[in-house]
Amino acid sequence: MVTPELSQSKSQFSPMAKSSVRTKPSSCFSDGFLYLGAALMAFLLVWSLWSYALSHSFDPKTSAKSAADAQAHQCVQENPQVNLHYDPPEETFYDDQELSYSVEKPIKNWDEKRKEWLKRHPSFAPGARDRVVLVTGSQPKPCKNAVGDHLLLRFFKNKVDYCRIHGYDIFYNNVLLHPKMNSYWAKLPVVKAAMLAHPEAEWIWWVDSDAMFTDMEFKLPLRRYDYKKHNLIVHGWEKLIYKKKSWTALNAGVFLIRNCQWSMDFMERWSSMGPMSSEYEKWGEIQRSVFKDKLFPGSDDQSGLIYLLYKEKSLTEKIYLEGEYYFEGYWVDILPTYDNITEKYTEIEKADGKLRRRHAEKVSEQYGAFREPHLREAGIGKDSWRRPFITHFTGCQPCSGDHNPMYVGETCWNGMVKALNFADNQVLRKYGFVHPDLLDSNTVTETSFDYPDDGPW
């Protein structure tokens, strides 16, 4: 399309195309006319170019409007901070033929390798300190429990929802990356592979398939773990390790591990207690001799981690036992609190119109910040009426159905449905709907404009 400025310029240039120049010899008078005509045309050319330049000079308002108009026609905006299309030709650790993703083969100089990779991919360097990749997974075969695959799908959807809201990447694995490292040990090979696959991420966050986010606004307090340079965060209690010597002193089903050489070395020690080790049976005997409440003879990852902490207390300098909020919480304790929590949050929103305001899902974190002043008196741990961050259905085994005998199966399955809908309401709310009954997954109602202040809620 021709702009008005160009059209105007063309109209000004047209006399040049049509001007007639005598071809026969002329007098000095004619030569003077030729000279004046040439000068006039030169002046017109300069004036036209100058006018065109002025019309296209930088105007902040015009420039901003043009940029906004251009962006309005783009449906998807790429993150300007990260270049996903650039991988330099220079060699990185990926070009090393000796590199192995296997949990059996150690990685050396990982900190230097990560640093060099980020140097060669400068668009990933900003924000690297807070970059998290959530890793989860399940078995490669269909579930034996009739509702198992459905429940696992909903558990995964819950994790995807949380990661989308907070800008985290997520990887779901359903194959054994080491044939011997099965059951609860299967997570360690996946975590190591994720570290190598994501050098741009500072943290790898393992979350069991039977754990779900039940506070979609709460974000990991990463600065809390940077303060003393902790590299592994698990939910646990020191007194249960060193005084009670209990195998339930922590829960290894949810942990946050820093993507660094220390973590690579530690996972190598931790994995050596697993089924890939020739001393696997021996480790089971050692664990049971120390932790008298351990229910089964085989070496497991949780007992292995507790044993390492018990034998080497200096590890607490790098391993943080998080017990001040529900980094993961036992479902039996948490489930009965949902109704009271819902009532409390509804009261808060009725009193604060800012929290009731409809908004895009992408800005949800801001509304979580708006809510914080109202939650100061709630506390963040046990007996708090704050939403629990993660509800973990330990012992329920949704896929196999082989739940702990101390629970009734229906209690587990109904509890999962209630927890999933409790979390899903926080997501659906951004889309204009909610489940009015937490035990009914099929039914949703559209929220009124000033929900929850309007209507019989």
Q: Is residue 354 part of a domain?
A: yes
- Identity of residue 409: G
Q: What is the structure's pLDDT at 80?
A: 56
Is there a single domain that holds both residue 175 and residue 307? yes
For the entire predicted model, the pTM comes to 0.82
For the cut 70, the answer to whether the pLDDT of residue 263 exceeds it is yes
| pLDDT tens, position by position, 393-445 | 999 999 999 888 888 878 999 999 999 999 999 999 999 999 999 999 999 99
Is there a single domain that holds both residue 410 and residue 383? yes
For the cut 70, the answer to whether the pLDDT of residue 50 exceeds it is no
Q: Which of 7-16, 107-116, 151-160, 336-345 has the lowest mean pLDDT?
A: 7-16
Q: Is residue 246 part of a domain?
A: yes
Is there a single domain that holds both residue 274 and residue 408? no
Q: Is residue 153 part of a domain?
A: yes
Burial class (CB in 10 A: 0-12, 13-18, 19+), 32: exposed
Is there a single domain that holds both residue 272 and residue 146? yes
Please say which residue of 266, 298, 324 terminates a domain. 324
Is there a single domain that holds both residue 230 and residue 313? yes
> pLDDT band at residue 30, thresholds of 50, 70 and 90?
very low
Q: Is residue 31 part of a domain?
A: no
Whose CA is closest to 159, among 136, 184, 191?
A: 136
- Identity of residue 101: Y
Is there a single domain that holds both residue 254 and residue 310? yes
Please say which residue of 281, 306, 324 terminates a domain. 324
Is there a single domain that holds both residue 166 and residue 262? yes
Q: Is residue 415 part of a domain?
A: yes
Distance CA 162, CA 419 (A): 14
Q: Is residue 376 part of a domain?
A: yes
Q: 383 lies in which domain range?
A: 332-446
Is there a single domain that holds both residue 417 and residue 337? yes
Q: What is the structure's pLDDT at 438?
A: 96
Is there a single domain that holds both residue 246 and residue 288? yes
Q: Count of domains in the chain?
A: 2
Mean pLDDT of 66-92: 66
For the cut 50, the answer to whether the pLDDT of residue 53 exceeds it is no
Q: Which residue has the higher pLDDT, 16 or 265?
A: 265
Provide the mean pLDDT of the chain: 86
% of residues, the chain, pLDDT over 70: 82
For the cut 80, the answer to whether the pLDDT of residue 76 exceeds it is no
Mean pLDDT of 255-259: 98
Q: What is the structure's pLDDT at 207?
A: 98
Please say which residue of 324, 355, 379 terminates a domain. 324
Please report the DSSP string for 288-333 in residue order: HHH-TT--SSS--HHHHHHHHHHH-GGGGGTEEEE-SS-SSEEHHH
- Identity of residue 404: N
Is there a single domain that holds both residue 151 and residue 272? yes
**The CATH number of the domain where 124 resides is what?**
3.90.550.10
